[in-house]
Structure 1
Amino acid sequence: MQQNAIIFHGTGGSPEILWFPWLGTRLRERGYAVDIPHYPGMNAEPVATLLPKVLAAHRFDEQTVLVGHSGGAAFLLALLENLDVTVAQAILVAGYATRPNDSDEPVLQETYDWAAIRAHVRDIYFVNATHDPYGCDAAQGRAMFERLGGTQIIRDDGHFGDYDQPYDTFPLLDRLIG
């Protein structure tokens, strides 16, 4: 069975920005089937309406690797909670499980079934920065790590890509996947 990777952009994002195309190319070169979908409703529409669309649009199995950035990483929590399989890996980059700032966060659920999330992923990573301009920082990563285990990686790299932070490659992710 072929390994597959699905890379989720964050709020207001798209598949063509930041390190998403670079990582997709790197993974394809290693034999992965890669999907970098565009979800304009990411963190704009309620997670309860976005989640069924994502579940229906993709194949999830024990070879699946999930990568999410910012709002896309926060979305992975709901996705993992609702899968009926255990995926290989999930990497949450600048992720969060509670409101990181005073913006509306429709991507978040009121509560999470942490045991279900943990049961649906073999290997989980939280990559956060010491200082994130949106509050998706190391404390957010630590809160998820304490509930789910896995590996927390703390860097001093802001939001790992933003309108004013070019981030065209992300070698750490390439090394973590596999």
Structure 2
Amino acid sequence: MSRSAIIFHGTGGRPDVAWYPWLDGRLTDRGYRVERPSYPRINVDPIAEFLPTVLAAHDFDAETVLIGHSGGAALLLALTEHLETPVAQTILVAGYATKVNESEEPVLQDSYDWERIRANAGDLYFINSVVDPYGCDANQGRLMFDRLGGTQIVRDDGHFGDWNQQYDTFELVDRLIP
């Protein structure tokens, strides 16, 4: 086994924007095999239809680090619930577990097996802002923390990158990954 990391972009995002390429380079320099898949249908297709594609496309093991941003973080809840083997670490940036605004959220499941997620997610980190323009805020981080434990980190950095928020590096996430 070798250390690997998978960085999941958010709704309407791409793997070549924000801090994802920068983090890829940092982890690659430390010996990680990094994937930044493109999932344009994330939070478009219902999670029950979308999740099998994601599970089949990647290898997950005890050396895997999962990083998700926004819709990609919400995806990680369903993903870790359905893994066959636990991963080393899961980092949810601007993540959420319930509907956060008026938009449909097909990436969310109706319910979660929190015990199974906790058992599979490894070291869990929730990074949310006090205020997030989409509602992926510290309250959502607290909701997940209360059910899963781990570490909740609250910042005041908006959505940690968006079409109108340049966020080319993310030192905090880099420091969290051994």
TM-score w.r.t. the length of structure 2 is 0.99
Distance 1:118 1:58 in 2: 20
CA shift at 1:152, angstroms?
A: 0.1
Match in the other structure for 1:59: 59
Distance 1:49 1:10 in 2: 17
SS in structure 2 of the partner of residue 44 of structure 1: coil
CA shift at 1:153, angstroms?
A: 0.1
Asked if 1:176 is matched to 2:176, the reply is yes
Where in structure 2 are the equivalents of 1:111-126 lying within 5 Å?
A: 111-126=111-126
Deviations along 1:30-59, whole A, 9 cap, x unmatched? 000000000010101111111000100000
Match in the other structure for 2:42: 42
Asked if 1:128 is matched to 2:112, the reply is no
Identity of aligned residues (%): 66
Deviations along 1:72-126, whole A, 9 cap, x unmatched? 0000000000001110000000000000111000000000000000010220000
Where in structure 2 are the equivalents of 1:71-86 lying within 5 Å?
A: 71-86=71-86
Unaligned runs of 5+ in 1: none
SS in structure 1 of the partner of residue 66 of structure 2: strand
Match in the other structure for 2:107: 107
Deviations along 1:125-144, whole A, 9 cap, x unmatched? 00000000000000000000
Deviations along 1:4-47, whole A, 9 cap, x unmatched? 00000000000110000000000000000000000010101111
Q: CA RMSD in A?
A: 0.4
Asked if 1:11 is matched to 2:11, the reply is yes
Kindly provide the amino acid, as one letter, of the partner of residue 59 in structure 1.
D
Kindly provide the amino acid, as one letter, of the partner of residue 132 in structure 1.
D
Kindly provide the amino acid, as one letter, of the partner of residue 60 in structure 2.
F
Match in the other structure for 1:149: 149
Runs (4 or more) in structure 1 with deviation over 3 Å come to none
SS in structure 1 of the partner of residue 122 of structure 2: strand
Aligned positions, number: 178
Match in the other structure for 1:25: 25
TM-score w.r.t. the length of structure 1 is 0.99
SS in structure 2 of the partner of residue 51 of structure 1: helix
